[in-house]
Structure 1
Amino acid sequence: IVPDMILCSFYIFILAQISTASEEHFKTPFFVFFTASGVYSVLTIVTFQVVTILRDNQQITYVHIILVGINAFSTSGATFGKAVIAFHRYFVLKRRDFTEQVSIYTLELRSIT
């Protein structure tokens, strides 16, 4: 449980950095899908860990059922997001120019006077 939560914390940090970045590159569809599927993946890990901890407690079965439902939904969302990312990458690479119409570098031209 501890390694999952440590790595999940780093993953949440990376997702937060990507989603709050002001650079145009991080606003492309790839990173939108990456962030969405990442949120679903984190939700899957957290709910699975909680379900595992609460597995033996018979008094809170309704919470267990709700968490299993959330886990199934988030697992499906993460899988769907990864499939969308794979299709998106395929179609971007299939295009002739291999770009998403976003420049990573900006060139600043100044006149010398």
Structure 2
Amino acid sequence: MTVAHAPSRLSICRGGCRAAARYPEHHDRLLAVDTDVDALLGLMELAVTWHELDYSDSPVVGPADWAGFAAAHVWTFPERAERAFSLALDIVGRRLEGLPVEQTGAELAPVIDLVRG
């Protein structure tokens, strides 16, 4: 008999996570940042390139949602997940440092405040 396993987003989020509904593949990759080096590197690459590439048509959870995402999920290694998302937010925020808020985009203003916190 074969046992079907539910995708991570269904077993962990139970449908209550906006990121799981909107970006299921990226959601599941982000859920692995505390246990999978490739997922962690993917988050870091996204953070480094966020201001260099156009992600507007990409199905990814953006920096404005990373802190909430990290807080809303249960992690195998919570401190590692917190460090990963904090570092990713710091990378995005460093790129924005020195720019007037109107040039950074209104949706990233909370992220800037969180990073500078």
Task: Give your verdict on TM over 0.5.
Answer: no
* Greater C-alpha Rg: 1
**Higher RCO, 1 or 2 (CA under 8 Å, sep at least 6)?**
1
Larger fraction in helix: 1
